[in-house]
Amino acid sequence: MRVLRRGDAGPAVAEVRATLAGLGLLPADPSAPAAEAAVYDDAVAHAVSTFQQQRGLIADGLVGPDTFRALKDATYQLGARPLAYLVSSPISGDDVLTLQDRLLEMGYDAGRANGVFGGQTEAALRNFQRDYGLTVDGICGAETVRALRQLSPRARGGSPVLLREQELVRKAGPRLRGKRIVIDPGHGGTDRGVSVAGLEEAELMWDLARRLEGRMAATGMQALLSRGRDQCPTEGDRAHFANEVGGDLFLSLHTDANRSPLAQGVASFHFGSAAGSTSTIGETLAGFIQRELVVRTGLRDCRAHRKTWDTLRLTRCPAVRVEIGYLSNQDDHRRLSDPAFRDVVAEGIVVAVKRLYLLGENDQPTGTFTFADVLRHELAKAE
């Protein structure tokens, strides 16, 4: 493009004048002369210098390619147009910058806030959409902008995502009745999972899922299994199922194996990236499950961890995956082969879910809250 300077006139100057007026740097011209008659006068040169200073550009009062692009970028306010990742010609503008700032404020790693909608901005946006229960399409459209506006006043006070997830759980109330839990027994069908000395993960987790389902149903929860006994849906299909049925929680059940026979214990996983974005309720529930199972079963504590596996990433509700014991370890193998042990595990998980909805009220020491307590609590509340 030709560099615009003092003395120039014409449509390009008219566009610059209009942009500067829109930014409040030049008084709007009520007489609005024809575009051909628009003049680059001293007032325009002064406004351009001011704009350049604000943007960290060389303040020479001339409109070259950099200043022209910056002026164009400045005209976009968040919500004025849909934003998406266009690989061949990335969108840039102040609306993108605002989006990136908001995402970073909330703890989503949108990369450097540079006003250009790239792959990392899209990934951060998807995480936000997922956590906020929006359509996860990576496009910043009307729905997402509305959600960002609602969150902005709180954004300074802490993590709005954390507040929102806790708010949903608090609103859901302490009762288990009516809660919809998707139980996901790992593997299945031709995929048997880990298999050691006659014990198969797919069958064990199916059995555990049924025990869990029975207890959940007894407390009035709606428990749904993500697969049939002889089916093995993909991780994505399992997450999709949870979204379709509108699950409140997603619990994936697995058991592990290791080359070392010494490896043993229970570990829980919730959605979260190394960069810091994490499902708060997922993390809380994983912590409760971990504590209850360790205290009740004597399994070694292999702690809770953040992961971005598909079942954790693609589910809209808080999701936890538990790896219960190592079939390759003698102690764990013996424990898991005992149906009574699997009952204890099922009870521990139900109690952990109950604790989540109690949000710290009626707190009893870990491991002392029994299934009978949970039932009593449900019946008392029902009256």
Residues that bind Zn ion (CB under 5 A): 186, 193, 254
- Pick the closer one to Zn ion by CB: 193 or 348: 193
| Of 29 and 191, CB closest to Zn ion | 191
The three-point CA angle 258-260-263 to 5° equals 70
Compute the least distance from the CB of residue 253 to Zn ion, in Å.
9
In 3-state terms the chain splits into helix, strand, coil percentages (rounded to 5) of 45, 15, 40
C-beta closer to Zn ion: residue 61 or 325: 325
Best CA proximity match to 103, nearest among 177, 60, 160, 57: 160
User: Residues in the chain, how many?
Assistant: 383
- Look up residue 110 and give its amino acid: A
Tokens of 18: 């209009």
Nearest to Zn ion of 164, 254 (CB atom): 254
Decide: residue 343, CB within 10 A, 0-12 exposed, 13-18 middle, 19+ buried. Answer: middle
Report the greatest alpha carbon distance in the chain: 90
Nearest residue to the partner Zn ion, using Cβ: 254
Closest CA to 181 of 288, 317, 352, 356: 317
Give dist(CA 168, CA 55) in Å, integer: 41
C-alpha span between 122 and 80 (Å, rounded): 18
List C-alpha distances in Å: 232 to 184, 226, 291: 11, 9, 30
Give me 151's structure tokens. 């969150």
Q: CB of residue 142 vs Zn ion: minimum separation in angstroms?
A: 40
Q: Which amino acid is at 74?
A: A
Q: Rank residues 254 and 342 by Cβ distance to Zn ion and give the closer one.
A: 254
Least distance to Zn ion from the beta carbon of 108, Å?
A: 29
Least separation in angstroms between CB 186 and Zn ion:
4
Residues 117 and 96 sit within 8 Å (Cβ to Cβ): yes
**Nearer Cβ to Zn ion (193/272):** 193
Report the residue number, 73 or 201, with the smaller CB distance to Zn ion. 201
The helix (H) or strand (E) run that includes residue 160 is helix 160-172
Of the candidates 102, 3, 110, 147, the residue with the CA atom closest to the CA atom of residue 62? 3
Query: Min. distance of Cβ 346 from Zn ion in angstroms?
Result: 18
- Residue 163 Cβ vs Zn ion, minimum distance, rounded to whole Å: 33
37 and 11 in contact (C-beta within 8 Å)?
Answer: no
C-beta of 138 vs 193, nearer to Zn ion: 193
Looking at beta carbons only, is 107 or 188 nearer to Zn ion? 188
Report, in Å, the least distance between residue 194 CB and Zn ion. Answer: 6
As measured in angstroms, the least distance from the Cβ of 226 to Zn ion is: 13
Closest contact distance (angstroms) between CB of 306 and Zn ion is: 18
